[in-house]
Structure 1
Amino acid sequence: MGEEIDKGATESRRVTRLIRLPEVQHRVGLGRSTIYRWMAEGKFPKPVQLGGYSVAWAEDEVEAWITTRLK
């Protein structure tokens, strides 16, 4: 008899891509100041700290924000 296969282990995992500020600006059509102001107001996703002063946004969070704005 063969071993049972765990379906959870065989499903492909989605890798979250991190994108930097210039790409975020390009995708959403907003300037740096607006993005940071809206983050402070809770209107835009917050970035993750990469180390030092480097930050990046989770691509799927930015895409979800764009989708909600289009509705």
Structure 2
Amino acid sequence: MIEQDHLEGASVPTSLVTDRLLRLHEVKQRVGLSKTTIYALIAEKRFPKPRKIKPAMARWSERDIDAWISSTAVD
């Protein structure tokens, strides 16, 4: 992981910055949708798929969620 003081004033490739993984409750808060709606949109390929950490544990990429929010924002 890159120390914060090394990031200031430097151009750091996106691939080197750690991507935070979000739990379902965090995703629900950020996007304002229910669990049912989120999974329905995933099935329709209209929402980012979670990453399986364990068979019964899924997490969403913070970058993916932020990108989805940006792409659905109304001007």
The bucket for the TM-score relative to the shorter chain is: 0.7 to 0.9
Q: Which residue is 1:18 aligned to?
A: 21
Which protein has the larger Cα radius of gyration, Structure 1 or Structure 2? 1
User: Percent same amino acid at aligned positions?
Assistant: 39
Q: The residue matched to 1:56 in structure 2 has which SS?
A: strand
Q: The residue matched to 1:23 in structure 2 has which SS?
A: helix
Unpaired stretches in structure 2, ≥5 consecutive residues: 1-11
- Equivalent pairs counted in the alignment come to 62
Q: Which residue is 1:56 aligned to?
A: 59
| Mapped partners of 1:55, 1:17: distance in 2 | 13
The C-alpha deviation readout for 1:46-69, integer Å capped at 9, x for no partner, is 000011200000000000000001
Query: What TM-score does the superposition give when structure 2 sets the normalisation length?
Result: 0.77
Query: What TM-score does the superposition give when structure 1 sets the normalisation length?
Result: 0.81
| Mapped partners of 2:63, 2:38: distance in 1 | 16
